[in-house]
């Protein structure tokens, strides 16, 4: 998808004059395949012996969860486009059918690797540490008796086997639920014999059951729920012969659709649509590796899927349920060392966040530095008699949120509290609906943003009366107001009382809650109006500096880089001589190192303990640096279909802080992956006998407190 304007940049015009077409498909990596490669890098963390063992298992689970979402959203969307007969292509010019075929081939490779990693690498290593998954064939007699008792007491009462015959058609299967297809012989009490039945495992049941101490050799021995059902399935079909019992799981389209122009109440419409997510169109079928072809084919037909949608797996069909082992095993030596997020000395010494922000800006880098000052900012605002109003955007906060607690306190205290909640935050819709209702009950004004544009910006505006004037205090972030992810994701947060930024924030909130034309902003860049054009202009300026013989450099750190015109602008800047470093965690459609096009561009991805989530845009600008942090990635949706902000870091000490962080990422030889011209990645390696350098470890050392 091209940008709305479609005009050529000066750099593109120069490239065209030199006979190089920057639009040629060979210069672009397919975005969906690039996302699969990101998941391959995540999976490789599970194979890294330098990682603590339980963290390796965690990365395996994350790779499984990522792949689930990839099918639920990406593959589902491509299938819809293909079935509608669309021939629309991305910049790489592949048709939906070609992309689906390539996805199937690569995804099958990744799934096979996931189970090899589990069975051949992690399971033996965990067993050496006394953490064992006991297979049916290895159960002792005592364990068999315990399993039988557990089945009769805890499972049998809640299982409902469903025979398949004309009066009992194939049941509706929940998205990603655990099920079994059972092959039978014989007749039941009514003389029926269809030969098949389905057993559905209720979601409330744990997928891993810890064996009690009296039948275990160690503290951490587990059996899979699927193993117990397999062992006792005969009890569900009295008097019949069970010939086989095989796990299966179906993944469905989980992208919610609400025609916002046709609904009167977005919240009510979203509540209704959430129910349909469980039964969307099937996009993938996983079955046990030993499932007979006939039964697998039967299931494919029931779900209207093709052979390329079938994934036969040697182990549990839902690997991410192994996260229960990671979270429930108290073995600190097998996990990452603990740490206490740091609190900047200026904040620790100050009794009032408002007094501190009148004197200086504060920049926090989570999770190395604590999220607590952000929560305290809102708590102080909620209780401060001089605070008149609080305005905030919420995209993801989690079900139990100290941020929301503070807003409720403020609203009940009679302050004007306005909250823009994005109900369409994917997979957080249900939590956000509950938060919206809670805030409304407390008396807050709750709105749901702008029709057709997700509100993805992370903003808080506090209006305080001081000496007969009103002063604005602001928090702007690259990540969500979610205390849990603030311990797992790297994000920046800026707190300031800069009058120009405060005035800009006031205008943006007016846009979100009211009606009116676009207002000119002083310092902030905003999607879908000025962020894209502003960044493009800074790229072009840097190219012009290089063309005029000045040293020129761009550093961009984002989650995804896919927007075609933005990529062409970077290609053109590279051709002009700009040195460009891109730190792109996930999708990257730009090809570095292409002769005559991107020889001056380097791309790296950082995959480590923390999910890299900061978005940073740096331009050297002839010694007068321009540095913006943002909630936006370099994607069409962020630039043109969302409300996003880009906020400048103007104070030299804070600029230097961010530059030091970027240089650490660019030095990384422990967590970094380097992208090649063909779109593949290889691990970065230290020079000669040098010790590997980890950017995240260095940031922990510099910013966090000792555990």
3-class SS shares of the chain: helix, strand, coil, % to 5: 40, 20, 35
Q: What is the largest CA-CA distance in the chain?
A: 90
Q: What was the pLDDT predicted at 188?
A: 63
Active site residue 456: yes
Pick from 3, 2, 31: nearest CA to 528 = 3
Q: Do domains 129-334 and 345-522 have the same CATH topology?
A: no
Highest CATH level, class, for 129-334: alpha beta
Q: Please state whether the peptide bond connecting residue 202 to the residue before it is cis, i.e. omega within 30 degrees of 0.
A: no
The per-residue b/e assignment along 375-390, b for 16 or more CB within 10 angstroms, e otherwise, is: bbbbbbbbebeebebb
**What single-letter DSSP state applies at residue 691?**
P
Q: What was the pLDDT predicted at 426?
A: 59
Q: What was the pLDDT predicted at 266?
A: 43
The structural domains of the chain, with segments of one domain joined by +, span 10-17+526-703, 129-334, 345-522
Q: Which of 220, 230, 365, 456 is catalytic?
A: 456
Q: What was the pLDDT predicted at 260?
A: 42
Angle between helices 402-412 and 429-442 (to 10 degrees): 20
Q: What was the pLDDT predicted at 13?
A: 60
Bridge pairing between strands 672-675 and 642-648: unpaired
Q: What was the pLDDT predicted at 164?
A: 83
Specify the 3-state DSSP secondary structure of 182.
strand
Rounded Cα distance between 93 and 672, Å, is 29
300 close to 285: Cβ distance less than 8 angstroms: yes
In sign, the C-alpha dihedral spanning 569, 575, 578, 583 is positive
Terminal Cα-to-Cα distance of the chain (whole angstroms)? 47
Q: What was the pLDDT predicted at 189?
A: 58
Residues recorded for the chain: 707
Could you tell me the CATH superfamily of domain 345-522?
Endonuclease Chain A (3.30.870.10)
Specify the 3-state DSSP secondary structure of 538.
helix
Tell me the average confidence (pLDDT) per consecutive run of 10 residues in the chain, 707 residues long: 50 62 96 97 96 97 95 91 81 94 97 98 96 94 96 92 78 92 79 80 90 91 95 90 95 65 43 52 96 96 96 94 93 95 94 95 97 96 97 84 93 94 67 82 86 88 95 96 90 98 96 81 96 98 97 98 98 98 98 97 98 97 97 96 96 97 98 97 91 96 79
Q: State pLDDT tens for residues 223-251.
A: 999 999 999 999 998 888 999 999 999 99
Give how far Cα 47 sits from Cα of 14, 41, 332, Å: 46, 10, 20
Bridge pairing between strands 579-584 and 553-558: parallel
Give how far Cα 49 sits from Cα of 54, 292, 339, Å: 11, 36, 22
CATH 3.40.30.10 assigned to domain 10-17+526-703? The reply is no
Q: What was the pLDDT predicted at 642?
A: 92
Return the beta strands (E) in 152-279 as ranges: 162-163, 179-185, 196-200, 208-210, 220-224, 241-252
Neighbours of 18 (CB within 10 A): 9
pTM above 0.75, yes or no: yes
């Amino acid at each position: 998808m091209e940008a709305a304007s479609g005009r050529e940049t000066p750099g593109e015009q120069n490239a065209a004059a030199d006979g190089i077409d920057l639009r040629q498909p060979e210069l672009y990596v397919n975005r969906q395949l690039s996302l699969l490669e990101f998941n391959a890098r995540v999976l490789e963390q599970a194979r890294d012996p330098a990682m603590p063992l339980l963290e390796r298992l965690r990365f395996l689970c994350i790779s499984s969860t990522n792949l689930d979402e990839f099918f639920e959203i990406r593959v589902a969307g491509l299938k819809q486009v293909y079935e509608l007969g669309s021939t629309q292509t991305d910049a790489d010019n592949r048709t939906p059918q070609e992309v689906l075929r390539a996805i199937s081939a690569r995804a099958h490779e990744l799934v096979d690797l996931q189970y090899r990693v589990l069975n051949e690498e992690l399971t033996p290593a965990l067993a050496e540490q006394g953490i064992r998954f006991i297979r049916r064939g290895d159960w002792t007699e005592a364990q068999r008796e315990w399993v039988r008792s557990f089945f009769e007491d805890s499972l049998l009462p809640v299982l409902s086997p469903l025979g398949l015959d004309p009066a009992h058609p194939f049941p509706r299967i929940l998205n990603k639920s655990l099920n079994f297809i059972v092959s039978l012989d014989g007749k039941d009490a009514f003389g029926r014999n269809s030969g098949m039945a389905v057993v559905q495992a209720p979601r409330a049941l744990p997928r891993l059951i810890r064996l009690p101490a009296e039948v275990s050799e160690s503290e951490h021995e587990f059996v899979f729920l699927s193993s117990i059902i397999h062992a006792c399935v005969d009890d569900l079909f009295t008097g019949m012969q069970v010939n086989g019992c095989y796990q299966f799981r179906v993944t469905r389209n989980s992208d919610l659709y609400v025609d916002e122009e046709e609904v009167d109440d977005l919240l009510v419409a979203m509540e209704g649509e959430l129910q349909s997510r469980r039964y969307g169109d099937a996009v993938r079928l996983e079955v046990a590796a030993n499932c007979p072809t006939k039964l697998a084919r039967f299931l494919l037909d029931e779900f209207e899927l093709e052979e390329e949608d079938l994934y036969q797996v040697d182990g549990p069909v839902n690997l991410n349920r192994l996260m229960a082992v990671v979270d429930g095993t108290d073995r600190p030596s097998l996990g990452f060392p603990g740490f206490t997020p740091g609190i900047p000395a200026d904040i620790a010494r100050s009794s009032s966040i408002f007094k501190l922000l009148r004197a200086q800006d504060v920049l926090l880098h989570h999770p190395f530095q604590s999220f607590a000052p952000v929560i305290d900012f809102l708590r102080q605002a909620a209780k401060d008699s001089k605070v008149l109003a609080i305005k905030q955007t919420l995209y993801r906060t989690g079900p139990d949120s100290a941020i929301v607690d503070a807003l409720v306190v403020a609203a009940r205290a009679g302050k004007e509290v306005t909250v823009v909640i994005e109900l369409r935050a994917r997979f957080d819709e249900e939590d956000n609906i509950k938060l919206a209702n809670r805030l409304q009950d407390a008396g807050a004004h709750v709105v749901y943003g702008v029709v057709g544009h997700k509100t993805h910006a992370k903003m808080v505006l506090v209006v305080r009366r001081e000496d007969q004037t009103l002063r604005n205090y602001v928090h702007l972030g690259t990540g969500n107001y979610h205390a849990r992810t603030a311990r797992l994701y790297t994000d920046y947060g800026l707190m300031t009382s800069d009058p120009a930024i405060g005035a800009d924030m006031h205008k943006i909130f007016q846009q979100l809650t009211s009606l009116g034309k676009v207002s000119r902003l002083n310092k902030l860049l905003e999607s879908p109006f000025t962020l894209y054009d502003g960044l493009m202009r800074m790229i072009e300026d840097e190219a012009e500096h290089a063309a005029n013989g000045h040293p020129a450099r761009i550093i961009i750190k984002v989650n995804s880089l896919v927007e075609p015109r933005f990529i062409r602008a970077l290609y053109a800047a590279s051709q002009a001589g700009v040195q460009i470093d891109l730190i792109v965690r996930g999708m990257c459609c730009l090809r570095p190192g292409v002769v005559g096009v991107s020889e001056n561009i380097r791309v790296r991805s950082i995959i480590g303990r923390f999910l890299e989530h900061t978005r940073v845009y740096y331009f050297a600008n002839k010694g007068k640096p321009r540095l913006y942090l943002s909630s936006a990635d370099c994607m069409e949706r962020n630039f043109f279909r969302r409300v996003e902000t880009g906020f400048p870091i103007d104070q030299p000490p804070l600029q230097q802080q961010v530059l030091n962080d970027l240089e650490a990422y660019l030095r990384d030889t422990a967590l970094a992956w380097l992208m090649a011209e063909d779109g593949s990645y290889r691990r970065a390696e230290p020079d000669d006998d040098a010790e590997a350098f980890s950017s995240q470890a260095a940031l922990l050392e510099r910013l966090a407190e000792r555990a």
